[in-house]
Amino acid sequence: MELKCPNKGDVHEWLDSLCVCREELAQVGVGIDEKDYHSTIILSLPIYLASFASSQLAAARLYSPTKSIDPDNLISLISEEYERQRNSHSRRSGFPSSKTQEPDEAMAVYTPGSSNKLKGGNTSRACKPPVCWNCGETGHIRPK
């Protein structure tokens, strides 16, 4: 009941080992009911996944107060969320930090009368002046 997933450990392996432990206990005559097993799963997970799993159980209770999520289904949901968060984290960490990233051309601001160069002197992606929606001229937003 007090087992914890190691910090930065593989949650898939951890959940598999919990399943194995439950089966081994069942083979020697120790049964763990679903409520206790749910608690063991939640308490053993990192906080971000424990919150996710707890909210899944709460949502299931709201949907049907007399039923709960099967532990195998809960483990499957947790595994999917773990993969989603791991992929999301790896995508974010693959990009340079916002301090070193050059501004996006589409997000760059043009100020009439200023240089069209982006920060750092890069002229290959210079900002173009906006075209007036009213008269079609460049260099001003709209006639005054």
The tokens for 43 are 């308490």
**Domain-by-domain residue ranges, the chain?**
11-93, 97-144
pLDDT digits (tens, 9 = 90+) for 81-130: 999 988 887 777 655 444 444 444 444 454 555 554 545 555 545 566 66
The average confidence (pLDDT) of the chain is 76
What is the C-alpha separation between 11 and 48, in angstroms, rounded? Answer: 12
**Helix intervals (H) in 1-144:** 11-27, 34-44, 47-63, 71-93
Q: Are 40 and 18 within 8 A, CB to CB?
A: yes
List all residues 6 or more positions away from 74 whose beta carbon is below 8 Å from its beta carbon.
Answer: 38, 41, 53, 56, 57
